[in-house]
Amino acid sequence: MLTPHHLTILRHDLRTLAHIEYEEVENELLDHYATLTEQKMEAGQDFEHASAYAWAELGAGPGLNTIQRDYEKNIRKQVSSRHLEILKSYFRWPTVVMTLLIGGLVHKMTPSIPVRFILAGMHITILIPFVIMGISYLKSQDLGNDSRKITWTHLNARAAFFVNIFQASLSLQFQGDGSAKVLFFQNHAAILSIVESIVIIYLLSFLQLYRENFSYKTAR
């Protein structure tokens, strides 16, 4: 029977030799590692030789690290699938119609709003996606689950793409004079409001994902 000290040694092997980072993977592997070690000790081997056999049986460092990579891939696949389901539920026709109405309303109102207020509004709106991403990050840290850490890393890369598109739309240079300038302001503000709405809805889907748990058993 393994003692707590033995289990500490086995756990240390997983962390230092196989570089296991996720507690869920570590606990699952420790269970197999300990079981194999106990079986050999019951057959008459001492702890050192029994654990060495169990380590080799599990695939040693490279083999165990492969299990961890499989865990990451599996979680990312689950996250992608679930994220797509959430986005489909968000982007139904009422959302599309409302987004287009917002763009149309902004296009209609732009000529009656002073230019400085339009410019200020455009630059303020860039803060909204970053605020949502910040909240998402804090959410991922508070919930502290291994799968949620992978969720944050995976989705953060996707979010950066959409936020960069939004920033690029802000950097467009105003052109023309008189009516041409007004038309440019109208079109730019309308398109920007539509893009902003899409980005916000997309980022809000992250908050729903962080409330969900994803798990993967590494048993072989």
Q: What is the pLDDT of residue 167?
A: 63
* DSSP letter for each residue of the chain: ---HHHHHHHHHHHHHTS----HHHHHHHHHHHHHHHHHHHHTT--HHHHHHHHHHHTTHHHHHHHHHHHHHHHHHHHHHHHHHHHHHHHSSHHHHHHHHHHHHHHHHHGGGS-HHHHHHHHHHHTHHHHHHHHHHHHHHHHH--HHHHHHHHHHHHHHHHHHHHHHHHHTPPP--SHHHHHHHHHHHHHHHHHHHHHHHHHHHHHHHHTTS--------
Please, are residues 150 and 79 in contact by the beta-carbon 8 Å criterion? yes
Q: What is the pLDDT of residue 188?
A: 75
Q: How many CA atoms lie within 13 A of 122 on its CB side?
A: 26
Q: What is the mean pLDDT of residues 45-66?
A: 87
Q: What is the pLDDT of residues 58-101, one digit of tens each?
A: 888 788 888 888 888 888 888 889 989 998 998 888 888 888 89
Q: What is the pLDDT of residues 110-160, one digit of tens each?
A: 777 776 777 777 677 777 777 777 776 676 666 555 666 777 777 777 766
Give me the chain's average pLDDT, please: 79
Q: What is the pLDDT of residue 79?
A: 86
Q: Give whichever of 138-147, 160-169, 183-192 has the largest mean pLDDT.
A: 183-192
Locate 100 and state its tokens: 């287009």
Closest CA to 11 of 41, 51, 42, 46: 51
Q: Which residue did the predictor score with more confidence, 117 or 10? A: 10
Closest CA to 146 of 58, 25, 38: 25
Locate 117 and state its tokens: 């207020």
Closest CA to 129 of 160, 98, 97: 160
Please, are residues 39 and 85 in contact by the beta-carbon 8 Å criterion? no
* Amino acid of residue 38: E
Q: Give whichever of 118-132, 140-154, 178-192, 198-212 has the largest mean pLDDT.
A: 198-212
Q: What is the pLDDT of residue 181?
A: 59
Check whether 31 has a pLDDT greater than 60.
Answer: yes
Q: What is the pLDDT of residue 38?
A: 93
